[in-house]
Structure 1
Amino acid sequence: MTDAHALSVTRFIAAPPATVWDIITQRLEEWWCPVPWRTEVVEYDWRSGGRMATIMHGPDGERHESEGVFLEVVPQVRFVFTDAFRAGWVPQEAFMVGTIAIAPEGEDTRYTASAQHWTREAMERHRDMGFEPGWSAVADQLAALAEASV
C-alpha cells in the first residue's frame, strides 16, 4: 500500500480532543454513517485485535453488514481498523485499512479520517462510491455532536 492508494478527509472541530474522543467511542451510532443511513453497533471491542462489527441500515431498507478488527487503538489519538480480518485474525476479502485520528489544534481538535487500499482500482471504487461526500458528512456529524457537548 502507498499513499497513492489513500483517500482522506480532515475537519476542524471546535471541541477539546478528550470530548471528541468520548463522542467517537461512546456515541458511534450517532455519527458513523451519513444520515439518513443509521449504524447499528454489533460489537466494538476497543483494543488491538478487538472485533468491530456494525450493520448500516439505509432509508429504503438497505442493509450493509461490516466486520473487521482494530489493528491499533491509542486512546485520544487514533484507531486503525481493517476489514482484512474477522475477530480471531481470521482472514477475509479485504477492501481497506481505515484510520480515524485526532490531534490538538490549540484547545480544539483536528480530525482526520483516511482509507488506504491495496490497489488503485479499490481506491477508485471507494471514491466512486462517494468517499468524499460520505466521509465528510460523517466528520460534520461528529463535529456537531462534539461542539454541542462543550
Structure 2
Amino acid sequence: MSAPAEENYELSVTRHIAAPPERVWQVMTERQTEWWCPKPWRAEIIEQDFVAGGRSAMMFKGPDGEEMPQEGIFLEVTTGKRFVSTDACQRDADGNWQPSGPFMIGSWEIEAEESNGVRGTRYTATARHWTQEAHDQHKEMGFEDGWGACADQLVKLCKN
C-alpha cells in the first residue's frame, strides 16, 4: 500500500513517447548525458551502476562554468520498467554508506501505452520529498519546467 501523493510531497511529469518501451529504456539509461539536464546545462556521468545499491553520480555543468554534483544510490532497478534513486545516503571513499542531506527519492518509469491511436510508451518521472519545505523548494526551483524540459529532450531522442 502506498501513501497518497500529498503525503509523499510528490511532484511528477509524464509524457507519451511514440516509441516502444525498449527504445525508451535504452535512451533513458544509455544516453543520459543527452537528456538528463535542461539545456544549456549538461550532465557528465561519473558512475551509473544500474543495480539496487549501485552508485548514481553525475556532475551537472552550467553554461557559465557552474558545477552541481549529484551523488546518490539506486534503490531499485527493474530493467525495462523503472529505476529509483535517492540522495539520502552515499558511499564514502572507503565504500561505507554514509547519511547525506536528503532532498528526494526520484523515480523514472515507463510502460507500454496507446494514446490517441498511437502506440508508444508512458514515461513518468517523480520526485518524492521528505518535507513540505523540500517539496515547495523543488517546485519553486522550477521543477515543472526543468523536469518537463528533460522529458521533452527524452521524447525527441526516442523519436530519432
Structure 1 residue 46 corresponds to structure 2 residue 50: yes
CA distance in structure 2 between the partners assigned to 1:37 and 1:54 by the alignment = 12
CA distance in structure 2 between the partners assigned to 1:25 and 1:116 by the alignment = 21
* Aligned equivalent of 1:66, options 53, 70, 81: 70
Q: Give the AA of the match of 2:5.
A: D
Partner of 2:85: 81
**Moved beyond 6 Å, runs of 4+:** none
Map residues 86-105 of structure 1 onto 2, 5 A cutoff: 86-87=90-91, 88-105=96-113
CA distance in structure 2 between the partners assigned to 1:111 and 1:96 by the alignment = 19
Partner of 2:5: 3
**Cα RMSD after superposing both structures:** 1.1
Partner of 2:135: 123
Partner of 1:24: 28
CA distance in structure 1 between the partners assigned to 2:47 and 2:4 by the alignment = 30
Per the TM alignment, residue 89 of structure 1 is displaced from its structure 2 partner at its CA by 3.1
CA 1:61–1:2: 2 relative to 1, 3 Å: farther
The range that moved more, 89-98 or 38-47, is 89-98
Largest Rg, 1 or 2: 2
CA distance in structure 2 between the partners assigned to 1:76 and 1:31 by the alignment = 18
CA distance in structure 2 between the partners assigned to 1:3 and 1:90 by the alignment = 28
Task: State the SS of the aligned residue for 1:40.
Answer: strand
Structure 1 unmatched runs, 5+: none
Structure 2 unmatched runs, 5+: none
CA distance in structure 1 between the partners assigned to 2:79 and 2:145 by the alignment = 27
What is the TM-score with the length of structure 1 in the denominator? 0.96
Q: Give the AA of the match of 1:26.
A: E
Q: Percent identity?
A: 52
Task: State the SS of the aligned residue for 1:145.
Answer: helix
- Kept in 2, the 8 Å contact 1:49–1:89? The answer is no
Per the TM alignment, residue 83 of structure 1 is displaced from its structure 2 partner at its CA by 0.1
